[in-house]
Amino acid sequence: MALIPMEEILADANEKNYAVGGFNINNLEALQAIIEAAEAEQAPIILQTSEGAIRYINMEYAVAMAKAAAEKASVPIAFHLDHGESFAKIIECIRNDYSSVMIDGSKLPFEENIALTSKVVEAASAVGVSVEAELGQLGGVEDDVVVEEKDATLTNPDEAAEFIDKTGIDALAVAIGTAHGVYKGDPDLDFERLEKINNEVDIPLVLHGASGVPDADIARSIELGINKINVNTAFQQAFTAKMREILEDPDVYDPRKICGPAKDAMKEKVIEKIRLFGSDGKA
């Protein structure tokens, strides 16, 4: 199968009320873990790279890896730019065959976010690439996206409808109290706000910073219209914890004996999230 636009994957999720994982890759083993999990669970997936991951992996390698995975896989796969910050980066990804992009204008004033996002939608839709955008701003750290808690803002439900109307995006990332990275305390999600947003808009909603969100809150979010859930930190933690355990043995030096089991640990975590999101068996 070739890479497909995210829009196609999310249309089914939106209709049947489940969520698809927006799973970040940072190296080959992460890609293998996600694909193996998706195949085992027969789940559609959205593979994504941040701008930092592209710098680390290299654009050509990242795209070649995603394309090879999609060609071999029996499940639908979209390849998505996560938190794209500039029009130039969006165009670079489109030219390199990404099937979906996120333009993150969340730190901009409302009208400027609309202007930048509209420009991206015009370019992307001309070549069949899906667009996710963000309104409101999550706290925490995700590669280049660093937002102090005091600067985090929640999505305004009235602005959400206007934003979608004026930009024509395919999916909207909402800020309802989640944060990127490791949580300091328990997240306190604003479900009332999510419900209002969901009542105002028709397109799939996206939850970022989902790693530390309790399972019950994830389930409630899906009931209230979340159709894409981004996870990165939880996978990195599973991978690294296994590596630490193996490296306690000073005689281990073969990277395959370190990264292989770490990949398997990450795969288990991906399977757990796929089942929690209800996307198992939806391929």
Our answer to whether residue 170 is catalytic in this structure is no
Q: How many helices (H) and strands (E) does the chain have?
A: 11, 11
80 binds Zn ion (CB under 5 A): no
Q: Which is nearer to ligand G3H, 77 or 179 (CB)?
A: 179
Show the binding pattern over residues 130-149: x = contacts ligand G3H (CB under 6 A), - = does not.
------------x-------
Residues touching Zn ion: how many (CB under 5 A)? 3
210, interface contact from Zn ion, ligand G3H, none, CB < 5-8 Å by kind: ligand G3H
How far is CA 109 from each of CA 85, 106, 183, rounded to the nearest angstrom?
A: 14, 8, 27
**97 dihedral zone (left: phi>0; alpha: psi -120 to 50; beta):** left
- Geometric angle at alpha carbon 266, from 45 and 235, rounded to 5°: 75
Q: Which of 210, 224, 259, 262 binds ligand G3H (CB under 6 A)?
A: 210
Q: Token digits for 262?
A: 């770490």
Among candidate residues 82, 143, 170, 217, the one labeled active-site is 82
Show the binding pattern over residues 212-241: x = contacts Zn ion (CB under 5 A), - = does not.
------------------x-----------
Show the binding pattern over residues 134-153: x = contacts Zn ion (CB under 5 A), - = does not.
--------x-----------
Q: Which of 80, 193, 208, 267 binds Zn ion (CB under 5 A)?
A: 208
User: What would you report as the CA-atom Rg of the chain, rounded to the nearest whole angstrom?
Assistant: 18
The 179-180 sheet, strands edge to edge: 145-147, 139-142, 179-180
Q: How far is the CB of 83 from ligand G3H (least distance, A)?
A: 6
Show the binding pattern over residues 73-102: x = contacts ligand G3H (CB under 6 A), - = does not.
---------xx-------------------
Q: Token digits for 197?
A: 């947003």
Q: Which is nearer to ligand G3H, 162 or 272 (CB)?
A: 272
Short-list 235, 221, 204, CA closest to 277: 221
- The 8-class DSSP code of residue 137 comes to B
Q: Which is nearer to ligand G3H, 99 or 232 (CB)?
A: 232
- The 8-class DSSP code of residue 151 comes to G
Q: How far apart are CA 180 and CA 208, in angstroms?
A: 7
Short-list 16, 21, 6, 9, CA closest to 273: 21
Q: Token digits for 248?
A: 């306690």
Q: Which of 32, 49, 227, 233 binds ligand G3H (CB under 6 A)?
A: 233
242 binds ligand G3H (CB under 6 A): no
Sites of contact with Zn ion (CB under 5 A): 142, 208, 230
Sites of contact with ligand G3H (CB under 6 A): 24, 82-83, 142, 180-181, 208-211, 230-234
